Amino acid sequence: MLPRQALSPRRMPRQVRSRRMVAAILEAAALVFVEVGYENASTNHIAQRAGVSVGSLYQFFPNKGALLATLQAQWTERLGQALDVTLGRSEHRDLGGIVDDVLDVHANLNASPPGLLGLLLTAPPLTPEGETVRVAVQHRLEDILSRRAPHLGPARR
């Protein structure tokens, strides 16, 4: 595991051009991670795929761990927002319908880029306190089940 500061972006982009470059780097990282796996990915390959120099990548991200951590954070946020909307509409549905709704959210988000969500769901936490996408989803589902089926104990949820 890496120290937290090694997984944080070096700086946040302020200008539109920089924000576009960071978005391109993250998109390239997602594609490369899906194609070759996190372990086999390199910052050189990611920079090349993004159409930027590796020095430009390093202006914003100190290593590929910071790229993965940023993707995990973005997807956790994006998935959480989508689940909140979906689950907000599912208040009176049965639990089977809720599970179907949650799976639909995952399928829709996994379409862009295909396979990224699966990689993020199975990626290990990069820091001791790091919450993976899978853990974030698990917490949301446990919260729903605790409200909808309070008779279920924590282990059953």
pLDDT in tens, 52-105: 999 999 889 999 988 998 888 888 788 888 888 887 776 677 878 877 888 888
Q: Do the beta carbons of residue 70 and residue 126 sit within 8 Å? A: no
* Residue range 108-137: mean pLDDT, rounded: 73
Name which residue leads in pLDDT, 127 or 108. Answer: 108
What is the C-alpha separation between 157 and 152, in angstroms, rounded?
Answer: 6
pLDDT above 90 for 124: no
Q: Domain 4-148 is in which class? A: mainly alpha
| 35 has a pLDDT exceeding 90 | yes
Residue 102, H or E segment: helix 95-109
Q: How far apart are CA 79 and CA 155, in angstroms?
A: 24
pLDDT-derived band of residue 42, with 50, 70 and 90 as boundaries? very high
pLDDT computed for residue 108 by the predictor: 85
CA 45/CA 29 separation, integer angstroms: 9
What pLDDT is attached to residue 31?
Answer: 94
122 class by beta-carbon count within 10 Å (0-12 exposed, 13-18 middle, 19+ buried): exposed
- Indicate whether 142 pLDDT > 60: yes
Query: How confident is the model at residue 28, as a pLDDT?
Result: 96
pLDDT at 148 over 80: no
